[in-house]
Homo-oligomer: A and B are copies of this chain.
């Protein structure tokens, strides 16, 4: 934190708090109510400004950053800017990502005067947007002179405890109020288990495991998912899995929490849409331990999961369930540790029959590309440590069945499912983890929604690999309804031409258009040869060509939307 200065203000306090929580970038678009605040950003020793093309892009970027760093910040102007970004805030709320919506608002004098001010509704009420945002944030404040710093702390603590977004509206004059730097850190925002409940859980789990496992010497199977990440329990999970030597898998949402290159990896569970052998192992396990699992329609084959309560231990973020009996107030980190103690390594677990990443030989051909081949080739071209973002369409389901290399950070958004999200999120994730290669898998329909931030990726020199699947429209929608309807078509764009249009040069970017598997593989090889540049790969597939996994999911979606369910 900065030394006390006679000019130290509320804006500095807020920035120091954010820097103390690991934030080194703020994403946004300036507006006249934020310009003073941005002077403080510009003068801050740690935090840098990342100006994006538009506010929704900034919000998605902050979300992508938060999914890697643990906290993200989008800064916009009052009214117009914040509402353009609010879809990103709602997505972060739904998917439990702590993103701070920081709004520069009119001065307290302007608000008190209640006159028709630009960026307001003209009715003298400056509270509309705070109330709107309250539906999708865990804490909110319009900062005032009396308690600006304590309100900043309150909102940040609430965000970190819930792993959800918060909202701070900072009037231009309050930003400049003199104050003192923080004198202590925010305190531990991690919830703590109730010792009694944890003891009860341990006893129940021990008895349950003893009874079920002694019957036939079986070992538990583990199904982990995204909430392991959200409550920062990945180290506890990995320790548990390694110590107990258990076979495991995840859902499509939480691929990042387990290692798909591990020989104990069973596969991805998607309910009825799972690979049959994978489905059978999870559904018929003598004991299934779920960790951080939350079934939503798009990752469960529309709630087709069939997991017997009586054979299950569910470790939830702040509670656990043992064969139907709930234990409230126990934290996932602690329940994992308890199970680790209960299940020592038995020696040599059965390796998985399925092939790990890299074990499948992929031979790209010069035949016209199909979705089936495309994703095998893409998966083979991924590298350990990559950050991989897949948009919620053919890309998410296309890469779904293919194992990822070791240490990949996989990001999707299957609950909120806002198409176009991943392109700006790649910007945030790439800047948050500069030592990882950012790889984007996105369809053309989705990319049209947020294409403007390709320019920001170029300007920020993020050396990403951007794969755009050009199938002339919303193929994920075509698979659900209206396969040849014009409303599922999009304006035809020449994707590789966007790099020079958006400031890319041959020294900083390269583009490929691939219509065969061999061309896709060659483009990825070129990307590896030039790791410092942004590589855009336009991949051409047929408008009605759908990844196999998406066929099943789309049929379930169509049934759910039918008039008579």
Asked whether A115 is an interface residue with its Cβ less than 8 Å from the other chain, the reply is: yes
For the complex formed, measure the closest distance between the CB of A31 and the CB atoms of chain B, giving whole angstroms. Answer: 7
User: Would A84 and B563 be within 8 Å (CB), given that A118-B296, A297-B117, A448-B455 are in contact?
Assistant: no
Is A328 among interface residues, defined by CB-CB distance under 8 A? no
Which candidate, A61-69, A204-212, A474-482, is the interface stretch facing chain B?
Answer: A474-482
> Are A497 and B500 in contact (CB-based, < 8 A)?
yes
Measured between beta carbons, the chain B residues less than 8 angstroms from A417 are 80, 118-119
Nearest opposing residue in chain B for A53, CB measure: B448
Q: Is the beta-carbon distance between A418 and B80 smaller than 8 angstroms?
A: yes
A486 at the interface (CB under 8 A from B): yes
In the complex, A295 has a CB within 8 A of chain B: yes
A494 on interface, CB distance cutoff 8 Å:
yes
* A117 in complex: contacting residue of B32, B86, B296, B497, CB < 8 Å: B296
Is A348 close to B, CB under 8 A?
no
Across the interface, which residues of B come within 8 angstroms of A420, CB to CB? 54
Q: Which residues of B contact A451 (CB under 8 A)?
A: 53, 451-452
Q: A90-B79, A415-B118 are in contact. Are A563 and B487 (CB under 8 A)?
A: no
What is the bound-complex CA distance between A500 and B498, given in angstroms?
Answer: 9
A172 at the interface (CB under 8 A from B): yes
Q: What's the number of copies of this chain in the assembled complex? A: 2
Q: How far apart sit A450 and B450, CA to CA, in the bound complex (Å)?
A: 9
Q: How far is the CA of A336 from the CA of B173 in the complex (A)?
A: 43
Establish whether residues B110 and A94, one from each chain, have CB atoms under 8 Å apart when the complex forms: no
- B49 in contact with A486 (CB, 8 Å): yes
Tell me the bound Cα distance from A498 to B558 in angstroms.
37
CB within 8 A of A32: which of B86, B128, B477, B495?
A: B477
A303 — nearest CB in chain B belongs to which residue? B115
Least Cβ–Cβ distance between A386 and chain B, in angstroms: 25
A107 touches B53 (CB 8 A): no
Contact between A116 and B54, CB atoms less than 8 A apart: no
Interface locus among A34-42, A242-250, A430-438, A542-550? A34-42
Interface: A91 (CB within 8 A): yes
Q: Report A87-126 residues with CB < 8 Å from chain B CB.
A: 87, 90-91, 93-94, 106-107, 109-110, 115-122
Shortest Cβ-Cβ A-B pairs, 9 listed: A497-B501, A35-B481, A459-B491, A83-B87, A80-B418, A116-B296, A54-B449, A176-B563, A118-B417
Interface of A toward B, CB cutoff 8 Å: 29-33, 35-36, 38-39, 41-42, 49, 51, 53-56, 79-80, 83-84, 86-87, 90-91, 93-94, 106-107, 109-110, 115-122, 128-129, 131-132, 135-136, 172-173, 176-177, 294-298, 303, 392, 414-420, 448-452, 455-456, 458-459, 474, 477, 480-482, 485-495, 497-498, 500-503, 557-558, 560-565
